[in-house]
Structure 1
Amino acid sequence: MSHTVFPAIARGRVHRWGGATLLVVRCDTLGRRAPWSLPPLFTPAERHVFRGLPAWRQAEWGVGRLLAKSVVSWATGLPLAEVEILPRADGSPRVSVPGLHVSISHTTHHVAAVTAPGAVGVDLCETAAAPAVGRAAAHVLVPEERRLTGEVPELLTAAWALKEATVKADRRGLFGEAPRRVRILALTPPTLSGDRRTLVRSAGTATLAVVVGGDGRDG
């Protein structure tokens, strides 16, 4: 496959795509440094979760939830303080707004959040991580999918992000059989097996993937 550069997504701006509402920003725009204090708009239950996290995790968790609350607020018109996002038993985020799903992704430099009426997953993968992705690809990519990447860093990170966004939408783990059950049929344009809509964009130094659809495992 020839080298392909994915279209760029404007960071810091809310996007609507495929029924989903999406926002990706650089971490430094949200001040992701520890120690990190939650703004007043977080609920008591969210603060309880935050305080139970190790110090190194609090900033990442807080920034991700702040972005997700902002996306839900933008999509619904609810004030930020009325949007609550708490972890399910499996660790995936649950939003307090009935009928909405959320997904969050972090890298060293970026954070993304998406909400949609049905199952949805988002993942970011820094292009610099392509060598590590290549070494770990055997766990999530079948040989036919690996051939699609052609060892091109942007395609490797896109394939990884698509798989991770898919298992997030399905609320399943990355290192099991789940990622192999959904096949990447093409990367340009991104196409998955099953009734799923896919988006891949360049987000500065990262590759962004969004997957809408899947079983969602409500509850």
Structure 2
Amino acid sequence: MDGRLRLPGPPGTAPIGLAVVPAAGETGPVDDAERRSAAGMAPWRAAEFLRGRGLLRGLTAEVLHLAPEAVGFRVEPGGRPRLRGHPAGVSVSHTDRHTAAAVWPDGAVGVDVMEPPDELDARLVRRCCGERAERMLAEPGAAAGFARVWAVQEACVKAVGLGLGGLPWRIPVDPGARRGRWRGVRWELMDTGLPCVLAVAVQETPRRSVADLAVLVQHPARSGLHPAAGPAAGN
């Protein structure tokens, strides 16, 4: 399944493009520089890197109406990919099972994909979930709840360009919430139709408030992604 959708950005801005695919699926083209970079990586890391760049390039070309060969990326010191010659925000995420990408022409964006872990590390849950950890660990859906929390935390720090340096585990996230805010960042969880969790986050500013990230799927016939069901906690 190739899940692609457009989410409306804040009023007066362009939609946010999202895509998620299984690791075995096709993504998009990569350039010679990316192949050279991948040559120096471990095989598993090279495969993830090339899948991510291919998906991000294809989605960027679609959202910005560019030829794929006209899309180039550079990497900031913190590891965040940026478009060459264009202010649009881009983000990519991958596991060994799924790859996800996000593009927003009008601002910074973060995306993260994660599968519920087969075995939970109680110490990691306590680190990421704080006072909610013990209750979560006692619930049957603890693995899925932890995956939602971690995906949101990762998407938020990516949106502000910090990655792990932003200490994502310190971001408070209610495991039952489907959308919310953190320090001027608006986040949303998406249902993917795949066995994974997908979170997207964008930065707000005093002049740009994001009311709802997920209210419109522009290509429902092609999309495996839909706004997640559940309470609008965190609004």
Residue pairs, 1:92-111, within 5 angstroms = 92-111=80-99
**Which stretch shifts more, 159-168 or 136-145?**
136-145
Partner residue of 2:218?
none
Residue 164 of structure 2 corresponds to 174
CA RMSD of superposed structures (Å): 2.8
* 2: CA distance, partners of 1:119 / 1:145: 30
Deviation at 1:169, TM superposition (A): 1.3
Match of 1:121 in 2: 110
Alpha-carbon displacement from aligned partner over 1:64-96 (angstroms, at most 9, x marks no partner): 000000111011110001101232222221112
> Which of 120, 125, 137 pairs up with 1:137?
125
Comparing 154-163 with 139-148, greater Cα deviation is found at 139-148
Out of 30, 35, 38, the residue aligned to residue 26 of structure 2 is 30
Asked if 1:187 corresponds to 2:176, the answer is yes
5 Å-filtered alignment, 1:176-215, equals 177-180=167-170, 182-184=171-173, 187-203=176-192, 204-213=194-203
| Structure 1 residue 139, shift from structure 2 partner | 2.7
* Cα distance between partner residues in 2 of 1:179 and 1:214: 21
Of 74, 79, 83, the residue aligned with 1:91 is 79
Distance across 1 between alignment mates of 2:109 and 2:67 = 22
- TM-score (normalizing by structure 2): 0.71
Q: Distance in 1 between matches of 2:36 and 2:46?
A: 11
Secondary structure of 1:187's counterpart equals coil
User: Unpaired segments of 5 or more residues in structure 2?
Assistant: 10-15, 206-235
The whole-number CA distance in structure 1 between the counterparts of 2:89 and 2:122 is: 31
> Would the aligned equivalents of 1:169 and 1:214 in 2 still touch at CA under 8 Å?
no
Percent of aligned positions with the same letter in both sequences?
A: 28
Q: For 1:15-55, what per-residue CA distance to the aligned partner results, in whole angstroms no more than 9, with x for missing partners?
A: 11143110001111128xxxxxxx8x544433432333333
Distance 1:186 1:47, change over 3 A: closer
Please give the alpha-carbon distance, in whole angstroms, between the structure 1 residues aligned to 2:99 and 2:197.
Answer: 11
Alpha carbons of 1:83 and 1:175: their partners in 2 closer, same or farther (altered >3 Å)? closer
Q: Please give the secondary structure, in 2, of the residue aligned with 1:14.
A: strand
Taking structure 1 as the reference length, what is the TM-score of the superposition?
A: 0.76
**1:154 matches 2:150:** no
Instruction: Give the unaligned 5+ runs of structure 1.
Output: 1-10, 32-38
After TM superposition, the structure 1 stretch with the greater mean CA deviation from structure 2, 196-205 or 145-154, is: 145-154
Contact 2:149 2:174 survives alignment (8 Å): no
**Does the CA-based 8 Å contact 1:119-1:214 persist in structure 2?**
no
CA distance in 2: counterparts of 1:176 and 1:138, whole angstroms: 18
Cα 1:185–1:132 shift into 2, 3 Å = closer
The 2-side partners of 1:115 and 1:130 are apart by 30
